Structure 1
Amino acid sequence: MSDYINYKIWTVCMVQDGEKILLLDRQHDDFKGFIPPGGKVEFPESIIDSAIREVKEETGLEVSNLIFKGLYEYVNPVAKDRYMIFNYITYDFKGELLEDSPEGKVAWINIKDAYNLPMQKSIQRRFPLFFEDGTFEIQVEWNDEENKEGKVLIRNT
């Protein structure tokens, strides 16, 4: 049996302006709902550079001074997959929003209203943690046999 583990690294960057956050209303493929900008880290770019690039590509904004908020990961012990999502927040941005984002309609939404929007479970689970002090780690173990989430571990520091 091989000890090889397949790592996939992603980023998410919440952009906040006062009481509003920037979200994308994503309506394509199987990952529908309101999401913060983010995406796959391209090798060999750094994780922070990836977060900055993804925000620019998906929203048109240039962000800076990213603050690390936490790690969200899916692990599949059977397939030996580990998906790691590095989560950031920033209050520093410039530029104009894209009229036609490749990931969905871009909108500034009041934080308290965002809790009532349709979101994927993974986004809902970490959404409030962006606005709390400290960092978080969430690990979801995938149940390969039942093709659904299994054990969920949430830590806040």
Structure 2
Amino acid sequence: MNRPKIQVCCIPFRNEKMALVRRVKKKANTFMQLIPAGGHVENCEKLEESAVRELEEETGIKANNLELKGVISFITRPINDHAICFVYFSNTNSGELEAKEIDKVIPEWVATFNFEENNDIPFYYREFLKKAVKSNHFLNCVVEWNELYEVNVSFN
């Protein structure tokens, strides 16, 4: 029986920009798109520890004072896959952006004033970010691919 995978991602903000990573791993379904830095939670690892670790591993940025903004459930029905991703923001962070996993991701600073128009960011992340940046409420988002691989985004 398949069980949902637990993931985290962390988006650091600085100087009216946010750091995202461009997926350069060819087998990734988000190949060449900009997504939040993140990954799987390791056994016995706290969510916050995982978010800080993944961000630093992928971008060189050290996050402080994490804010849990919401959760995204990624459901891919055709392959019976389900991942639950806890999304953190960091407005207090240090370090310089650095490509540390160049075979997987290349980090980039992205302007916050026009990210909604940036087609390199998958639309489901843009939808989540639009709400998360403007709201102080915890967001519960579902991104679901149906049998035809059409995607639907909903918020509860």
TM range, smaller chain:
0.7 to 0.9
Work out the CA distance in 2 between the residues paired with 1:79 and 1:28: 20
Most deviating of 60-69 and 32-41:
32-41
Work out the CA distance in 1 between the residues paired with 2:3 and 2:46: 18
Deviations 1:25-58 (A, max 9, x none): 2232321311121111112211111100001100
Instruction: Check 1:80–1:110 CA distance in 2 against 1; reply closer, same or farther (3 A cut).
Output: closer
Instruction: Please state whether the residue corresponding to 1:112 is helix, strand or coil.
Output: coil
Give TM-score scaled by structure 1 length: 0.81
In structure 2, what is the equivalent of residue 8 of structure 1? 5
Q: What amino acid does structure 2 have at the position aligned with 1:135?
A: F
Q: Which has the larger radius of gyration?
A: 1
Shift of residue 10, structure 1, vs aligned partner: 1.0
Work out the CA distance in 2 between the residues paired with 1:78 and 1:108: 34
Deviations 1:119-144 (A, max 9, x none): 2233222121231221211123442x
Q: Does structure 2 conserve the Cα–Cα contact (< 8 Å) formed by 1:6 and 1:80?
A: no
Give the length in aligned residue pairs.
Answer: 150
Work out the CA distance in 1 between the residues paired with 2:79 and 2:109: 38
Segments of structure 1 that go 5 or more residues without pairing to the other structure are: none
Structural mapping, 1:54-73, within 5 Å: 54-73=54-73
Work out the CA distance in 2 between the residues paired with 1:60 and 1:78: 35
Structural mapping, 1:1-157, within 5 Å: 6-29=3-26, 30-32=29-31, 33-75=33-75, 81-102=81-102, 103-117=104-118, 118-133=120-135, 134-143=137-146, 145-149=147-151, 152-155=153-156
Most deviating of 95-104 and 28-37:
95-104
Q: What amino acid does structure 2 have at the position aligned with 1:8?
A: K
Shift of residue 83, structure 1, vs aligned partner: 1.1
After TM superposition, what 4+ stretches of structure 1 lie above 6 angstroms from structure 2?
none
Shift of residue 99, structure 1, vs aligned partner: 4.2
* Backbone CA RMSD of aligned residues: 2.3
Shift of residue 114, structure 1, vs aligned partner: 2.4
Segments of structure 2 that go 5 or more residues without pairing to the other structure are: none
Shift of residue 78, structure 1, vs aligned partner: 7.9
Percent of pairs with identical residues: 26
